[in-house]
Structure 1
Amino acid sequence: MSTGTADSARGEFASLLRGLRGRAGLSQEELAHRAGLSVRAVADMERGRTRGPQRRTVAALVAALAPGEAGAEALERAAAGGRPRPRATPAAPAGLRLPRDVGDFTARDADLARLRALAVDPGTGDPPVVLVTGQPGLGKTAFAVRAAHGLAERYPDGQLAVDLHGTRTPPADPREVLLVLLRACGIAENTVPQDTEGRADLFRTVAAERRMLLLLDDAADEDQLRPLLPAAGPVLTLVTSRNALTGLEGAHRFSLGVLRREESVALFSRVIGPERVAAEAQAARDLADLCGQLPLAVRIAAQRLAARPQERLARLAAQLADEGRRLDALRAGDLQVRATFALSYGLLDPLARRVLRRATLAAGPDFSPQTAALLAGTTLREAERCAEELADRGLLQPDPAAERYRFHDLLRLFAAEQLAEDDPAGLARAQETTALWTLARATAAALHFDPERSPAGDPDRATAPHGTEEARSWLEEERAQWLDALGRALADGHHREVLDTAEAMHWFSDRAQEWEQWARVFLDSVAAARALGSRRDEAVHLNYLAWAYNLCVRDPASGLATARAALAVAREVGDLLQEGWAHGYGAGALQRLGRHEEAETWLEESADCHRRNPAPQARLAELSTLNALGAHLRSMGRAGEALDLHRRSEALCRVGIPGQSAELLALYRDNTFHHLARDLGGLERWAEAEPLLRRALVGFETAGMAAWSEPVRLDLAITLRRLGRSAEARAMLEAARRGLAEQSHPRQAEAELELMEAIRSGS
């Protein structure tokens, strides 16, 4: 359309609109209100400043003015005359055509089906915008291209693809992108406005009349993207971005994840052939795992193998198994995993880069913002901000339920390489600071479970756990971190801190007996005691270690050797309490080794040590030993003798122990009730056993002692079966089986057998 023709059309539309508004008796403000337009928009149209208003704008004016059929048609003709007329464009320019589809594209079937359904029925009147996001290397572009080719027939007016260079500096300017798009749509360059807003308005006008597919690849941010999005018409826009673009309104989001192992193996098969994969099936699975199921990494490995048809898959798997060589090996021509990650890393600000690379020093599979803050030497608030940004950019994976983050395996390797940017001495200081802070928090948290001491010494009272529930959650979530801190502090010579933390864990360890790591904790504390030259502490922590070997690791041979070492040190320093405990832990190991007569002798010696010791702590130890001796006698078929011993324990509980808390004495009392009930069961006095078991169960559940409550639940279920209360017994057996399995408790097999017997017998 010539400039003169367009000007004439605009003038005709303006004149018609002024006349119709006048006949309707409306002011510009009233017309704007009725039509849902701005007053400025109405004024510009009446002055001939607006190039051919869109059909929906004309429809809104007609609805407000009610000019009749002839008037409506005249208004639409005048508007259409002013709209830009594209030149004939049978195909998009070469630079804007869809990229080639990958013939061996694998997986994503469910996401592709969802996207096709969205194209058929967007669910709203607005043109659908599909946003495909995820970490680098997930194949976002390949997915969008596959979808675009599959949908091309639905968009006969064209399919345009633009690279927005979101991972480059600077990214594509939306003003320039709009010019390219308008030229591709056949708009003469000399009719295109100079400003971004004008170009965006013109592109929306053109797109509103077309059934078109638009692929905007590698978007940087919302500001770059918004001017490029059609506002009306049958246009489907596919956007890919490494960033979450959380501020983008109304988009249909597709967050891609890594492949499943079988999908990765399928991609290998498509690239190098199923026969080659079948010949080394395990190596193919290993390769998939070593690539972290990341599509880019899997494709690179596959294409390397395709270029070397004689190379064995196992050879490449062996190369990738070396973490130091893995990223070097994951390159094929111009495809490189490291380079892909580097694009995203280079766009981060200095603090975010420091948080990312130093977070690789965190122990365990995930980490908290607090750990990231300590390692990076920044505030918690800044670390939280950086972690959220890194998650939005696909460089960290947020936990769906907790404020914790994890790395993809390959991203962790890449980020760890960037530690070369840091001064080694500064890194060492950051790790030492983090370890000591973490140990102080762990010590304070563990003291929530110590009935004789109150929590103290937390390094940050504002974020400190409150109460046993929060304390346990922190100790569980940060287990890998404080265990690593314990070892690091030991290596750095902070022996007192190691010893204090392990001592604080003593009571908490009873509530988490299923943790095998307790042996590691007390190995470190024994080493710390020896480094400090404290023989008494050495005896104490050797006894803790013997307990861990017996109950947590279930290594009675090591338990016996450690108890003997504790006994020797205790005798050397004249510590009767630790001598008694050493006899008790040694007896437990001997019993597990099947040396029952020796175990009985050691238990009697333990009881004698405690009986001769006037200290209040010895009374608690005597209770424990009497209960253990009674349990041993019961296991030897001497339930009557066991019952007599446990009656003595019950008498000690009734008398009480000066200086001991009611909470602690309640635990010992409930433990004694459990033993008494088992003795009575051994004598088939089931009715007498039931109330004792119920009291013990309530007490342990109230105290949160699952390691003690679940065996009681099993014994109560057995008692109920013997009393003929089948339905109640079976429900309790099922609960006990679940609880014992969660702890990997030695009695879970017994629970399974009891439940199977109950099912078979119908009782």
Structure 2
Amino acid sequence: MDTGTPTEGDLGQQLRELRARAGLSQEDLSHAAGVSVRALADLERGRTRGPQRRTVQALADALGLDPATTAELEQAASLGRPRPSAGCAAPNALALPRDIQDFTARGPALDRLLALTREIDPAHPPVVLVSGKPGLGKTSFAVHAAHRLAPHFPDGQFALDLHGMDPVPTTPRDALARLLRAVGVADSAIPAETEDRAGLLRSVIRNRRLLLLLDNAADEEQVRPLLPGTGPSLTIITSRHALAGLASVHRTELGLLRREEAIELLTRIIGLRRVQQEPQAARDIADLCGHLPLALRISGQRLAARPREHLSRLAAQLAQEGRRLDTLQAGGLQVRAAFALSYRQLAPVHRRLLRRAALAAGPDFSPETAALLADLPLAQAARYAEDLVDAGLLQPDAATERYRFHDLLKLFAAEQSAAEDSTDMCDAAQDRAARWMLRRATAAALRFDADHHRNTPDGDPDPASAPADREEARVWLEAERSQWLAALRRAHAAGHHQQVIDAAEAMHWFSDLNQHWEVWVEVFQRGVDAARALGDKQAEAIHLNYLAWSYNVCVYDHHAALMAADAALQVARAIGDELQVGWALGYGAGALDRLGRIGESLDRLREAAACLGTQTSVQGRLGELTVLNTLGTILRRHGRAEEALSIHRRCEAICHAGMPGQPTELMAMYQATAQQQIGNDLAALGRWSEAEPPLRQSLAGFEAAKMRAWSEPARLDLGLVLRRLARYQEARETLLAARTGLGEVNNPREVEVAAEIRELDRLTAGS
């Protein structure tokens, strides 16, 4: 549509007349042109006189102007743009870099920036800090956002690299000079002092709608003088550092891409066809790149440059850890180089902490581990770890004081350790950490031992920082599982057999709290091996029994459980240890039951009960309780619920009577077990109302002790009874909770609860 020639005059007058002739409101034109209402109002009022060409073209397209009228509008706009003075750099000297055509994801972060742009308060011009670890694409994101936002800032968009990762970053004084030239200030008018330059910049831009991109900032002191004081401008800062000292900024911390986003980026670079031909290889590449945008871009550009190369070939190369960083380079792009920039910025002690922390076992580590490996005081190690978080080199846990590496950064840190630390130094660091970890783990686990229950951290390497009670000990043992397990392996490899036996023995009672951990097979196998190495037959029988338990309960390998129990039985009989004979018979019976050999199982249980019944020790009585509970359970499963109920009532009576010297908490667990079985016995007899109270008591007991491996099956049993009582809503809630809990502890009764929920759905269909 040709709206005709507007009346001659300034840009604002022309724009008002053109909009009126087109019959558009400011809101209509804003929506059609992609220019904010505020920016449009500033143009029409003459507050903004020199919008960029792209903004003028967007307005012309929205107004339907012919080429001649568009040219006149552009001419009016050009008169209001700053002119370079003699000796000045051109105003576009700090023009935005080229946008990346295949930019992927980051939608929510972009939306937050757009929202900020729509709500700028000139009294408080927004400052956005984009931070994160190396390789996350902070600059790409900021440049892409700046191009998206350009129409909202018609007075200019400027990008300045502050060279924060260079040995000598750009000084605030030099940065201010470049910005002043970019906005049209002559060299001769630029003051000498940094503070005066900052004041002049704030004055010049206070009424302009500018977008400033300050890329690659080194620290707070570098960027503070560059920030506008007032006005409708937007400043975007990118930095590998958190710049925690900057106040009143909107923080955008970029994270890793999700897997589907990582594959989308790869697809945009190499094309959909190649990804569709090898979808699993594409997924593998995304995962091996750790969903890090830089690594994905390098992989994609390498594949794009080799159109005949199979994705599976690159995936196979990336799968080799020793070659992964070498593979992740394409032309001038290198993941290793990106990490090295940050590493070189660190003080020597921070470098040591970073590279030594790569020696830690498992996915994360604590300040204690870092301190031991780096040979630093704990307080210093904790402080330096936080510094590395601020530098984008470590990821903090959201709830606890623990840290983790990105996979590729861990490979880089390990490379630096190999290059800068001798083999002897690394071995010494790992030995030091292993000795400390194993001592603390042993002391912490002993708090759960029925024979050695205590509230003092006997044997702890640092009593002052030791867990204060059983709950803290549990939290520590669970959090540091990877570290103390690695320490156990190291002690075993070094031939420290008694330390291995002591640690494994200490873990025996604690293992009941975490029956779903498959590591118990390894822990107790190492105990067996250490006992054999020392020729300690009693320890061998004990740890073979523990091993049989772990095969039965933790990994459900009942053939292996029977083999371990039979080996324990043979050793125990050879040395005349009746307590271990009884336990071996009981564990073997459990395996036989699960293998369907019911008669043999019952015979062994009766023999075990008779054997343990003659024992006067507390361990003998506890063993008898365990065997009787198991005997009753098997009898109930095979239609003999009345016998089972009698046996379980007997177990409950023993628990009520108590055992001298035993902690109340321990007897409560045995009582909760008896109550669970009594409830199940009553249910098997169809006495549903009577079954509910003992099952509720059992569940409450296990929950109070935080024994999820025990509480979740009890919750399922209660749900079964509630369904039979036709309390369907309560049954559903209980069963759904049990399904979640059983899944989390890897219990095979997940199948049972799923079937029960389906039956409940059938019963309540249409109700």
Classify the TM-score, shorter chain.
Answer: 0.7 to 0.9
2:628 aligns with one of 626, 629, 632: 626
- Three-state SS of the structure 1 residue aligned to 2:463 is coil
Q: 1:176/1:547 Cα in 2 relative to 1: closer, same or farther (>3 Å)?
A: same
The superposition leaves residues 589-621 of structure 1 with CA deviations (integer Å, 9 ceiling, x where unpaired) of 111111111111211221222133343321221
| 1:553 aligned counterpart, secondary structure | coil
The range that moved more, 531-540 or 541-550, is 531-540
| Deviation (angstroms), 1:640 | 2.5
Does structure 1 retain, via aligned residues, the 8 Å contact 2:91–2:184?
no
Q: Matches of 1:117 and 1:692 in 2, distance apart? A: 57
Letter in 2 for 1:561: M
SS at structure 2 position matched to 1:99:
coil
* Equivalent-residue separation in structure 2 for 1:251 and 1:650 (angstroms): 63
User: What letter corresponds to residue 257 of structure 1 in structure 2?
Assistant: G
Measured in 1, the distance between the counterparts of 2:667 and 2:272 equals 67
Work out whether 1:416 is the aligned partner of 2:414.
yes
Say which SS state the counterpart of residue 462 (structure 1) adopts: helix
- After superposition, the C-alpha distances for 1:468-492 in whole angstroms (9 at most, x for unaligned) are 3222222221112211111112112
- Residues 213 and 235, structure 2, Cα contact 8 Å, conserved in 1: yes
CA–CA distance in 2 between the matches of 1:158 and 1:730? 61
Listed one character per residue, the Cα deviations across residues 228-278 of structure 1 (whole Å, up to 9, x for unaligned) are 112122322221111111111222221111222222222222222222222
Q: 2:598 aligns with which of 596, 599, 607?
A: 596
* Residue type of the alignment partner of 2:426: L
Deviation at 1:94, TM superposition (A): 6.0
Measured after TM superposition, the shift of residue 423 of structure 1 is: 2.1
1:166 aligns with 2:125: no
Greater mean alpha carbon deviation, residues 218-227 or residues 736-745? 736-745
Paired position in structure 1 for 2:299: 301
Q: Secondary structure at the match of 1:363?
A: coil
Correspondence for 2:275? 277
Partner of 2:427: 428
Name the CA distance, whole Å, in 2 between partners of 1:275 and 1:730: 47
How far, CA to CA, are the matches of 1:225 and 1:630 in structure 2?
74
Distance in 2 between residues matched to 1:415 and 1:509, nearest whole Å: 34
- Could you list the runs of 5+ residues in structure 1 that have no partner in the other structure? 1-54, 56-84
1:557 to 550, 556, 559: 559
**Corresponding residue for 2:199?**
201
Aligned residue number for residue 357 of structure 1: 355
Per-residue deviation at 1:87? 4.6
**Deviation of 1:529 (Å):** 1.6
Change in Cα spacing, 1:214 to 1:696, as seen in structure 2 (3 Å) is closer
Flag the 1:757–1:106 CA change in 2: closer, same or farther, 3 A: closer
Corresponding residue of 1:443: 442
CA separation in 1, counterparts of 2:560 and 2:91?
76
Call closer, same or farther: CA 1:212–1:720 in 2, change over 3 Å: closer
2:716 corresponds to: 714
**How far, CA to CA, are the matches of 1:510 and 1:127 in structure 2?**
58
8 Å contact kept, 1:92–1:159: no
Q: Summarize deviations over 1:634-679 as a string: whole Å, max 9, x none.
A: 2221223323333443444455444434433333233223333333
Aligned residue among 212, 215, 225 for 1:214? 212
Deviation per CA, 1:3-38, whole angstroms, max 9, x where unpaired? xxxxxxxxxxxxxxxxxxxxxxxxxxxxxxxxxxxx
Specify whether residues 684 and 263 from structure 1 end up closer, same or farther in structure 2 by C-alpha distance, changes over 3 A only.
Answer: closer
| 1:290-689 paired onto structure 2 within 5 Å | 290-420=288-418, 421-453=420-452, 454=454, 455-689=457-691
Q: Secondary structure at the match of 1:233?
A: coil
CA–CA distance in 2 between the matches of 1:158 and 1:669?
76
1:754 counterpart residue number: 756
**Taking structure 1 as reference, are residues 119 and 659 closer, same or farther at Cα in structure 2, changes over 3 Å only?**
closer
Work out the number of aligned pairs and report it.
680
* DSSP-derived class of the 1:103 partner: coil
**Is the Cα–Cα contact under 8 Å of residues 268 and 302 in structure 1 kept in the other structure?**
yes
Instruction: Give the fraction of aligned pairs with identical amino acids, expressed as a percent.
Output: 60
Q: Secondary structure at the match of 2:491?
A: helix
Matched, 1:745 2:747: yes
1:192 Cα deviation after fit: 2.2
Counterpart CA distance in 2 for 1:517 and 1:737 is 23
Q: C-alpha offsets along residues 717-751 of structure 1, whole Å, 9 cap, x if unaligned?
A: 33344445445444433333333333222333323
The structure-2 alpha-carbon separation of the partners of 1:378 and 1:580, relative to structure 1 and needing over 3 Å to count, comes to: same
User: 2:33 matched to which residue of 1?
Assistant: none
Contact 1:91/1:158 (<8 A) preserved = no
State the AA in 1 paired with 2:107: D
Contact 1:587 1:598 in 2 (8 A): yes
Partner secondary structure for residue 447 of structure 2: helix
SS of alignment partner, residue 159 of structure 2: strand
- The structural deviation recorded for 1:88 is 5.7
Q: CA 1:614–1:323 in 2, change beyond 3 Å: closer, same or farther?
A: same
- Write the distance in 1 (CA, Å) between the matches of 2:699 and 2:403: 37
Which amino acid letter does the alignment assign opposite residue 269 of structure 1?
T
Residues 451, 663 of structure 1: 8 Å contact kept: no
Preserved contact between residue 511 and residue 706 of structure 1 (Cα < 8 Å): yes
Which whole-Å CA distance do the structure 1 matches of 2:664 and 2:95 have between them? 79
Aligned equivalent of 2:256:
258
- Identify if the C-alpha distance between structure 1 residues 189 and 717 changes in structure 2 by more than 3 Å, giving closer, same or farther: closer
User: Which residue of 696, 701, 708 corresponds with 2:703?
Assistant: 701
8 Å Cα contact 1:134/1:140 also seen in 2: yes
- Residue 353 of structure 1 deviates from its aligned partner by 0.7
Q: Which residue of 2 aligns with 1:245?
A: 243
1:132 aligns with 130
Q: Say if 1:689 and 1:128 are closer, same or farther in 2 by CA, change over 3 A.
A: closer
Which residue is 2:183 aligned to? 185
Partner of 2:42: none
Give 1:443's aligned amino acid: T
Q: What stretches of structure 2 of length at least 5 have no aligned partner?
A: 1-46, 48-81
Structure 1: which amino acid aligns with 2:569? L
CA distance in 1, matches of 2:267, 2:728: 55
1:206 deviation in Å? 1.7
Does the residue aligned with 1:161 lie in a helix, a strand or coil? strand
* AA partner of residue 525 (structure 1): G
- Cα gap change, 1:208/1:698 in structure 2, threshold over 3 Å: closer, same or farther? closer
- Match in the other structure for 1:71: none
For residues 755 and 486 of structure 2, the distance between their equivalents in structure 1, rounded to whole angstroms, comes to 39
More deviation, 227-236/147-156: 147-156
Taking structure 1 as reference, are residues 565 and 272 closer, same or farther at Cα in structure 2, changes over 3 Å only? same
Q: Structure 1 residues 746-755 or 249-258, which shifts more?
A: 746-755
Change in 2 beyond 3 A, CA 1:682/1:149: closer
Q: Which moved more, 1:121-130 or 1:415-424?
A: 121-130
In structure 2, distance between residues paired with 1:284 and 1:531: 48
Which amino acid letter does the alignment assign opposite residue 430 of structure 2? Q
Q: CA separation in 2, counterparts of 1:531 and 1:614?
A: 31
Report the AA paired with residue 438 of structure 2: L
Deviation at 1:295, TM superposition (A): 1.1
CA deviation after TM superposition for structure 1 residue 123, in Å: 4.4
